[in-house]
Structure 1
Amino acid sequence: MPTPFQPFEPHGRGGPRIREIPLRMILPNLITVLAICAGLSGIRLAFEMRFETAVVMVLIAAFLDGIDGRIARALKATSKFGAQMDSLADIVNFGVAPALVIYAFLLDRAGSPGWIAALLFAIACGLRLARFNVLDEDQDRPAWQAEYFVGVPAPAGAVVVMLPIYLVFIGAVVPDRVFGFVCSGFTLLVAFLLVSRLPVYTGKTIKIPGDKVLPLILGVALFVMLLVTYPWQTLSLSVIGYLIFLPLSARAYSRRARLEEQKAAAAAMQPPAD
Structure 2
Amino acid sequence: MALGGDRLRRRRLRREHINQLLPNALTMLGLCAGLTAIRFALEDSWNIAIFLVAGAALMDTLDGRIARLMGGPTEFGGQLDSLVDGIAFGVAPVFMIYIWSLQNAGGIGWSIALLYPVCCVLRLARFNVSSAGTSTPMWATSFFSGVPAPAGAGLLLLPLIIFAETNWDWLQSPWLTGPWSLMVAILMISRIPTWSFKRLRVPSKFVTVAMAGIAFLAAAMFTEPRLTLAGIIISYVLTIPFSIRTYRRLKVTED
TM over 0.5, shorter chain: yes
Q: 1:120 to 1:76 in 2, by over 3 A?
A: same
Matches within 5 A, 1:196-215: 196-203=190-197, 206-215=200-209
CA contact (8 A) 1:103 1:115 kept: yes
Q: 1:71 to 1:131 in 2, by over 3 A?
A: same
- Mapped to 1, the partners of 2:40 and 2:198 lie a distance apart of 35
**1:73 maps to which residue?**
68
**2:142 maps to which residue?**
147
- Mapped to 1, the partners of 2:150 and 2:39 lie a distance apart of 20
What secondary structure, in the 3-state scheme, does the structure 2 residue paired with 1:226 have? helix
Deviation of residue 20 (structure 1)? 8.6
Aligned AA (2:207)? V
What secondary structure, in the 3-state scheme, does the structure 1 residue paired with 2:169 have? coil
- Mapped to 2, the partners of 1:140 and 1:259 lie a distance apart of 18
CA contact (8 A) 1:150 1:198 kept: yes
Q: 1:257 aligns with which of 226, 235, 251?
A: 251
CA contact (8 A) 1:114 1:181 kept: no
**1:25 maps to which residue?**
20
Q: 2:128 aligns with which of 116, 133, 139?
A: 133
**1:220 maps to which residue?**
214
Aligned AA (1:213)? V
Q: State the structure with more CA Rg.
A: 1
Aligned AA (2:28)? V
Structure 2 residue 156 is matched with structure 1 residue 166? no
- Mapped to 1, the partners of 2:14 and 2:147 lie a distance apart of 41
CA contact (8 A) 1:29 1:82 kept: yes
Q: 2:32 aligns with which of 28, 34, 37?
A: 37
What secondary structure, in the 3-state scheme, does the structure 2 residue paired with 1:111 have? helix
- Mapped to 2, the partners of 1:154 and 1:114 lie a distance apart of 21
CA contact (8 A) 1:109 1:176 kept: no
Q: Please list every run of 5 or more consecutive structure 1 residues that lacks an aligned counterpart in the other structure.
A: 1-17, 262-274
**2:108 maps to which residue?**
113
Q: 1:260 to 1:78 in 2, by over 3 A?
A: closer
CA contact (8 A) 1:151 1:199 kept: yes
Q: Please list every run of 5 or more consecutive structure 2 residues that lacks an aligned counterpart in the other structure.
A: 1-12
Deviation of residue 223 (structure 1)? 0.8
- Mapped to 2, the partners of 1:128 and 1:59 lie a distance apart of 20
- Mapped to 2, the partners of 1:203 and 1:34 lie a distance apart of 21
TM-score, normalised to structure 2's length?
0.87
CA contact (8 A) 2:160 2:171 kept: no
**1:234 maps to which residue?**
228
- Mapped to 2, the partners of 1:225 and 1:27 lie a distance apart of 27
Q: 1:206 to 1:67 in 2, by over 3 A?
A: closer
- Mapped to 2, the partners of 1:215 and 1:102 lie a distance apart of 37
What secondary structure, in the 3-state scheme, does the structure 1 residue paired with 2:144 have? strand
Structure 2 residue 239 is matched with structure 1 residue 245? yes
Q: Percent of counterpart pairs with the same letter?
A: 38
Deviation of residue 186 (structure 1)? 0.5
What secondary structure, in the 3-state scheme, does the structure 2 residue paired with 1:216 have? helix
